[in-house]
Amino acid sequence: MPEPIHISITANAAYARYAAITLWSLLAHTSSPVRVHLLDCGLNPVQHAAYRRLMTAHGDASIEFAPCRPLLDRHPDIPERYKTTLVRLTLPEVLPDVTRCLHLDSDLVVLDDVATLFATPLDGHAVAAVTNLRTAEKHHVARSRWRWLHPKMVRQAREEAARLQRDAGLGALTEHINAGVLLLDLDVIRARIGVERFGDLAAAGRLAQFDQDWIAGVARGDILRLDPRWNTYSSMARLNLWAFPPDEKAALERARARPAIVHFVGSKPWGPAKSHAAARRRKRDPWVRAWRGAAAGMDAFLASHATDEAAALSL
């Protein structure tokens, strides 16, 4: 029997459905044993029961709920809407017996087997993540021969570089990461960075991009870059890919053609569209359709196997 892959995800009452859809898409594409660690920021008992029922759709999946409210309530000065983003920084503390963990945001749809990602050799690195493509785009456009056509982005690159140098000690925009998909060696973090340092929510909460800025800074030089297939932005088509170096551009084009995880950066696949044009684009978007397909599959399973709990994960 293969070793289980350890997955963590954060959910509160408002995001219970969206986190469940992410997990459902993961279970549908993963054959390995799965151990889900749900960072519970305010779920109710019926929602717990619904999550447990979802695990039964997989041959070997289980879930445990890590109560995080006490950790978050230590920081009354941090706005509530930011706490659920920052709580992933407590993973080395709340999962003391776990060595390696894959943390996923709640606005994702999984399209490939994450066991492959989980098995990635970290070669002693504390963290593996995909580069923040929005900051990298600014970096490359600002250094291209066509930068004069993009004065706004050049200005943004200069301002963002100065901020990241000041706040996180980064020497270049390309050192920033996107924290939507994080492969963490928790033992290395505990030994090299420290539980208290990595989990300093108060310090991270003062930064503009919170956990992303914080992890990029405290783990600087200790971050392995993942293939962008594992965190493909839903807005990839709007990036200026022409500005990236040839090898990076090729990797991004491969990710756009065959993503393993789609991350809905910016516009989400739920809720009303902002305009009629946006609604039309949503209907044609294959990644939105994939997310909606996962949602429909989850709803159908709960309707037939857990009618009492189905409403707990409905809109």
Q: C-alpha 66: how far from its chain's center?
A: 18
Please tell me the class of the 5-313 domain.
Answer: alpha beta
Alpha-carbon Rg for the chain in angstroms: 19
What are the structural domain ranges in the chain?
A: 5-313
Instruction: Give the mean model confidence (pLDDT) for residues 241-247.
Output: 97
Q: What digits encode the pLDDT tens for the residues 96-154?
A: 999 999 999 999 999 999 999 999 999 999 999 999 999 999 999 999 999 999 999 99
- Residue 158 pairs with which residues in a beta bridge? none
Token reading at 121: 């050799």
User: 3-state SS string over 279-292?
Assistant: HHHHHHCHHHHHHH
The rounded mean pLDDT for the chain is 94
pLDDT surpassing 80 at residue 315: no
Helix (H, G, I), strand (E, B) or coil at 109: strand
pLDDT in tens, 32-70: 999 999 999 999 999 999 999 999 999 899 999 999 988
199/205 Cα distance (integer angstroms): 11
- Is the predicted pLDDT of residue 277 greater than 90, yes or no? no
